[in-house]
Amino acid sequence: MSRELGYDSGVARTSDEVDALVAAWSRERPDLDVAPLEVLSRVSRLARHLDLARRESFENHGLEPWEFDVLAALRREGAPYELSPGRLLQQTLVTSGTMTNRIDRLTAKRLVQRIPDPDDGRSVRVRLTAAGRERVDAALTDLLHYERQILAALSAPDRARLAELLRVLSIPFEHPA
């Protein structure tokens, strides 16, 4: 059963599952302030929807989420689309052994190649191939389409405000004091 509730921006909204969850906890535990659930339960639910959209987008292009992450890190570097394995580690937050395995698998699929590091003959760099670039570009295009659909209910100013609020919440986790 849905009900119309006022919203600060003047846009009417329909209640969702989080409203029911918060109401139930408020009833069962009136001694607790359950207000954080209003925001973070919705963030969690949206994260699940985004994860499903990401997986579908990547599957449509024959990629696993981790493959997209590595290819995207290389693509964002700009031409010649290459990084050292160490820089890839930093950008994808995985262990050295995991990254080696991932590079091996992407090399076997001809989406990346190892090339000698011109600055250090003992090291290699990982370079995105033309096929890897095509694949990551197509997957990103689809992903952005899905993400626009997820955000379609928000106006551009509301999206900008939400992005700023989420940035404020994220910064302490990315830059701990």
- Nearest CA to 73 out of 120, 124, 140, 118 is that of 140
Of the candidates 136, 151, 167, which is a domain's last residue? 136
Dist. CA 132–CA 75, nearest whole Å: 9
Could you tell me which residues are beta bridge partners of residue 112? 128
80 with 126, same domain?
Answer: yes
Whether the model pTM is above 0.85: no
Residue type, 46: L
Instruction: Specify the CATH number for the domain of residue 79.
Output: 1.10.10.10
User: How would you list the strands of the sheet with 82-83, edge to edge?
Assistant: 82-83, 120-128, 112-117
In a domain, 104, yes or no: yes
Number of domains in the chain: 2
In a domain, 176, yes or no: no
Q: Is the peptide bond before 30 cis (omega within 30 degrees of 0)?
A: no
Which range of residues forms the domain containing residue 97? 65-136
In a domain, 115, yes or no: yes
Token match 């551009």: residue? 156
One digit per residue, the tens of pLDDT, for the chain of length 177 reads 233 333 444 444 688 899 999 999 999 999 999 999 999 999 999 999 899 989 999 999 999 999 999 999 999 999 999 999 989 998 888 888 999 999 999 999 999 999 998 887 788 999 999 999 999 999 999 999 989 988 999 999 999 999 999 999 999 888 776
In a domain, 171, yes or no: no
